[in-house]
Amino acid sequence: MALSDDEQRILREIEQELQNDSKFADAVSSSGLYRHSVRQVRWAIIGLVLSVVLLAVSLQVHFVVSFAVFVVMLGLIALIERNARAIGRAGLQDVAGAIRKARESATRRMQ
């Protein structure tokens, strides 16, 4: 079914607005799609490192506290694994490319 002239005009206007919207373009860019998962992995790794330290300290306090910290560590590892699967190999390559581009542009600005 063909679109009428009015519908085609509206469609062209919508396409033009989407092309000019930089916030939308960043959100659906290849690096933007994985930004949330990468952020969650980053925080989970920081939490994992802190929980290892807390586990060492809690071993001296009581074994029940240590077990609770260990359970938290397992939850953080599961969170990392789930987000790493969501990102996938292609996502990791996209994120790494975006980081490289950002680093190169920052280096150029500093020079």
Residue (of 37, 38, 47, 33) closest to 77 by Cα position: 47
- Run of H or E residues at 62: none
Choose the weakest-confidence range: 40-44, 55-59, 77-81, 90-94.
90-94
CA dist 100 → 8, 23, 54, 95, 111 (Å): 40, 21, 34, 9, 17
For the entire predicted model, the pTM comes to 0.58
Dist. CA 68–CA 10, nearest whole Å: 58
Give yes or no for a contact between 54 and 22, defined as CB atoms under 8 angstroms apart.
no
Interval 97-107: pLDDT, tens: 777 888 888 88
User: 74 pLDDT band (50/70/90 cuts)?
Assistant: very high
Interval 21-65: pLDDT, tens: 777 766 666 556 677 888 898 999 999 999 999 999 999 999 999
pLDDT for the residue numbered 83:
87
